[in-house]
Amino acid sequence: MHEEFLKMINENPIDISSLHSLINQMNTVDIAEIFEDLNQKKITQTFRLLPKNMAADVFSYITPENQQIIIEALTDSEASKIINELFVDDAVDFIEEMPANVVKRVLTYVPDAKRQIINQILKYPEDSAGTIMTTEFVNLREHLTVREAFENIRATGLDKETIYTCYVISYDRVLVGEVSAKTLMLSDPHNIIGDIMETNLVFAHTTDDQEAIANTFRKYGLLSMPIVDNEQRLVGIVTIDDIVTIIEEENTEDFEKMAALTPSDEPYLKTGIFKHAKNRIPWLLFLMLSATVTGTIIENAGDSLPTLLAAFIPMLMDTGGNAGAQVSTLIIRGMALGELSPKDILKIMWRELRIGVLCGLTLGFVNFIRIYLMNGKDALLSLTITISLMLTVLIAKSVGCVLPILAKKLKFDPALMASPFITTIVDAASLTIYFSIAKAILHF
């Protein structure tokens, strides 16, 4: 249908009624995707062709660059109308991406009440529950009957992002309970909400971090979660569709940090090459300059470092880096999922010590045999490398588990203590050990 749509809007004149009947068969998300294939002129033209009742919905799925193009082509009152029809959380997402002059324009004709809500949300700390919640939800009072609750939902429900969990609040707006649409549908119409509502609530505060909220959704299998202010008053809800997006964003951010990249929200192909370079160069530079330490260790090993000894440097460095990356990845991931916390540090270190011994012994054994056979059955050389290797693995496992936990403890992001950084540290330790042992055993 994508191709058919493109063909229709490129005809002259455009057959509006066929286009609308095609649009009626399409998903809003797929319609929004079409805008990515259009040029600036076609974007505004096509947006104006959308059925009025659909425009805001499609708009919420369009990329920020194209949203800006559309808004700039609309009159102030048309633009305000679109913003007013968006769900509050989508409106906030949009406004966060726009330059100040566009924001000022689009908010001109938005009613005061909605503008105040939007401004309030924009004030919450980045990545907090407050910034991802929507303020449109169904709230009920305890004394209503199920029948009255349904009437309430019918009267207001069309504007609400989710009606599958209704929240029960007191007269001062304090959250007191929740009742699912399922319970309502399966209950006798004369039942009283206060009697059938659930009072063991899982909720969060406006300032709570979105990653913690995502973990709670996962743990309890929630569809939505109420968000309260410091006085326990219900101010918004977070819905699961946003959580799915947040989980992927948080994961992408961790993947990027762990690969020594400055995290970026933009998809790979949408990012310019200068932006890509800017996200990569600072970390590469920092790690490159850190390797000066390792270089100095080699230089100090003496003027006559035998080539044969130098030949094992890559193997030691790579194995140390890999052994460290394995454990740091497990620890960083475990902490992101809430399965591990800094208080487990001794338990983790004791495990890694034993795992390090197991890995070190196995690798050492294979390594000794390989070197012994391939290097003229030189037992002392084989022993030097093998002992260095085993100690390298042990150090890598220890550094790899301690650093991410320490980072978390010090309120840094553990994902920064990943492979690249740990490799740099383990390299230095590994080579220092290697040359000391080589001097002791081989007297080079």
Out of 120, 139, 232, 326, the residue judged to bind a second copy by CB under 8 A: 326
By CB under 8 A, residue 307 contacts a second copy:
yes
174-193 positions binding a second copy, by CB under 8 A = 181-182, 185-186
Q: Least distance to a second copy from the beta carbon of 323, Å?
A: 6
- What single string gives the DSSP state of each residue in 343-359? GGHHHHHHHHHHHHHHH
Out of 116, 119, 199, 436, the residue judged to bind a second copy by CB under 8 A: 199
Which of 261/441 has CB closer to a second copy? Answer: 261
Q: Are 184 and 146 in contact (CB under 8 A)?
A: yes
By CB under 8 A, residue 419 contacts a second copy:
yes
Considering only the stretches 7-15, 36-44, 108-116, 313-321, report the one whose residues sit in contact with a second copy under the rule CB under 8 A.
313-321
Out of 158, 230, 376, 411, the residue judged to bind a second copy by CB under 8 A: 158
- What single string gives the DSSP state of each residue in 392-420? HHHHHHHHHHHHHHHHHHTTS-GGGSSHH
Out of 126, 200, 343, 376, the residue judged to bind a second copy by CB under 8 A: 200
H helices of 221-312, in order, are: 240-258, 273-299, 307-310
257-296 positions binding a second copy, by CB under 8 A = 258-261, 267-269, 273-274, 276-277, 280-281, 283-285, 287-289, 291-292, 294-296
Considering only the stretches 67-75, 102-110, 205-213, 318-326, report the one whose residues sit in contact with a second copy under the rule CB under 8 A.
318-326
By CB under 8 A, residue 369 contacts a second copy:
no
By CB under 8 A, residue 122 contacts a second copy:
no
Considering only the stretches 6-14, 73-81, 168-176, 360-368, report the one whose residues sit in contact with a second copy under the rule CB under 8 A.
360-368
Q: Report the C-alpha dihedral over residues 381, 383, 385, 387, rounded to 10 degrees.
A: -160
Rounded to whole angstroms, the Cα distance separating 223 from 217 reads 7
**Residue positions counted in the chain:** 444
Long-range contacts of 411-418 (CB under 8 A, 24+ apart): 413/257, 414/331, 414/332, 414/335, 414/336, 415/253, 415/254, 415/257, 415/258, 415/332, 415/336, 416/257, 417/328, 417/332, 418/257, 418/258, 418/259, 418/260, 418/325, 418/328, 418/329, 418/332
337-356 positions binding a second copy, by CB under 8 A = 337, 339-340, 344, 347-348, 351, 354-355
By CB under 8 A, residue 373 contacts a second copy:
no
Out of 14, 311, 373, 379, the residue judged to bind a second copy by CB under 8 A: 311
